Amino acid sequence: MDQKQTKKEYQFSAILTPHRSLSPQGFLIFMGLISLVCFTTGIVFTMMGAWPVMGFMGLDVALIYWAFRQNYKDAKIFETINLTANELTLERVYPSGRKQNWSFNPFWINVSLIEHSSGATKMQIKSHGKALYFGQFLSDDERREFSTVLKQEILSAKNSLRP
């Protein structure tokens, strides 16, 4: 028996990920500098007779390390958006590995960018009276740019089905 698998061709596909300005190598350099400053300060205070300060300096380094590691772990979230002429799918993958999936008909959705007076933005997909916020980890400028691109792609998908 010969089975043919039809591959679904996407008209548009995007993966949204949070931006992190500090590379892993930059993180090591930063932690090295913090450790050097804290160790030097600890030695100075120990020589002055305030030896407990050395422990607090070590605690500072440990807490800074933990905070950055937690930040890198939280940055593992991403969202995948795939658009065909008949369907828009959004998959959100959390740092824990848990996944959420949504599917929409492009003819019935409205992608909008909500701008607050403070300049903060939110992207949402509305369909049948329900709203889904996405790209919350993006910067405001990235949201503005992506919402414009997605709206254009949805319009193209709608137009591709018209005779």
- State if pTM tops 0.75: no
Asked whether residue 151 is assigned to any structural domain, the reply reads yes
Residue 5, domain member (yes or no): no
Q: Which of 59, 74, 89 is the last residue of a domain?
A: 74
CB count in 10 Å sphere of residue 54: 17
Q: What is the pLDDT along the chain (163 residues), one digit of tens a residue?
A: 344 444 455 589 999 988 877 888 999 999 999 999 999 999 999 999 999 999 999 999 999 999 988 888 888 889 999 998 889 999 999 988 899 999 998 889 999 999 998 889 999 999 988 899 999 989 999 999 999 999 999 888 887 766 5
- Same domain flag for 125 and 93: yes
CB of 68 closer than 8 Å to CB of 27: yes
Domain of residue 105: give its range.
Answer: 77-160
Residues 117 and 45 in one domain: no
Domain boundary among 13, 48, 74: 74
